Amino acid sequence: MRRIVYVVSDSVGETAEFVVRAAASQFDGGRVDVHRISFVDDVSTLREVVESAREDGALIAFTLILPELRREIARLAEEGGVIAVDIMGPMMDAFGKAFGTPPKLRPGLVHQLDEEYFRRVEAVEFAVKYDDGRDPRGLVRADVILIGVSRTSKTPLSMYLAHRRLKVANVPLVPEVDPPEELFTLPAKKIIGLTINPEELNKIRTERLRSLGLTAQANYATLERILVELDYAEGIMKKIGCPIIDVSSKAVEETASIVLDILKRGGTQA
């Protein structure tokens, strides 16, 4: 015989249904019909649900955030002889007592958190896919595009901003390689140039070569080559007309804060 459970929620009701099915799995293989009633925000709906549950001999499981709705469904269920289980209420009460702060009492917050989490994951995947100019087709979909010579923190900055739910692509500027045409057709306000002090970049590149077991005298790390690259990159940035950030001696977090501030002002620097 299949049993019926009415799941009542002021949001989607997924949490309550998950708990119901987990509990039901412990009884005869979990054969239970779940009737989900979502986005409940009025007493009349509660009355209808309790009456239906009484007629069906069903159980009610509810996740209602507002105390008045929780009290009302409990009262109606008791009067109708229906078993009703408050899934969320006791846990919220315990949190309030343990931490000394009241709940926000706003339905659907868990789903807002889920949405933020998935947006962050999507942004991180985007940053990985369009790192280091791998696919220029992604530039048009980016929230912000970082450009600059090698070792100006484009990748770590991209990942940091991705965790702020921004879709970031980055493109290295190298004199021997023409930059993607998209850089000159997309709005300059979504492109940010990164530059750095030549001497500091020389030290960074030299250490990078040493960590790879290569000679520090390679052209990549010479001051002459760095000056050529920085001059080329500056020319590209000026042609685009994008904001430029000097990342010299700046932590990634500091640069990210400047980027976010620029984006907030519509792509203009202070």
CATH of 111-264, one of 3.30.2450, 1.10.3470, 3.40.50, 1.25.40: 3.40.50
Whether the pLDDT of residue 125 is over 70: the answer is yes
Question: Above 60 in pLDDT, residue 109?
Answer: no
* Of 77, 68, 81, 71, nearest in space to 50 by CA: 77
Contact 192, 242 (CB under 8 A): yes
User: What is the DSSP pairing of strand 244-246 with strand 191-195?
Assistant: parallel
Average pLDDT over residues 49-56: 94
Give, as one character, the DSSP assignment of residue 180.
P
- C-alpha–C-alpha distance, residues 240 and 147, integer Å: 11
> Where is pLDDT greater, at 2 or 37?
37
Q: Architecture of 3-107 per CATH?
A: 3-Layer(aba) Sandwich (3.40)
Average pLDDT, the chain: 89
pLDDT score of 249: 92
Distance CA 188, CA 195 (A): 16
Report yes or no: 178 and 133 within 8 Å, Cβ to Cβ.
no
Q: Of the ranges 26-30, 93-97, 193-197, 204-208, which one carries the lowest mean pLDDT score?
A: 26-30
What pLDDT sits at residue 210? 85
Q: Which part of the chain has CATH 3.40.50.20?
A: 3-107
Own/partner contacts of 43-46, CB < 8 Å, gap of 24 or more, are 43/69, 43/72, 46/8, 46/72, 46/73, 46/76
pLDDT at 29: 60
User: Which of 114-118, 144-148, 149-153, 264-268 is predicted with the least confidence, judged by mean pLDDT?
Assistant: 114-118
pLDDT tens for each residue of 148-198: 999 999 999 999 999 899 999 999 999 999 999 999 999 999 999 999 999
Provide the percentage of residues in the chain whose pLDDT is more than 90. 61
Say if residue 111's pLDDT is above 70: no
- What's the pLDDT score for residue 54? 94
Q: Categorize the per-residue pLDDT at 97 as very low, low, confident or very high, splitting at 50, 70 and 90.
A: confident
Read off the pLDDT of residues 200-255 as tens digits, 9 standing for 90 and up.
999 999 988 888 877 766 788 899 999 999 999 999 999 999 999 999 999 999 99
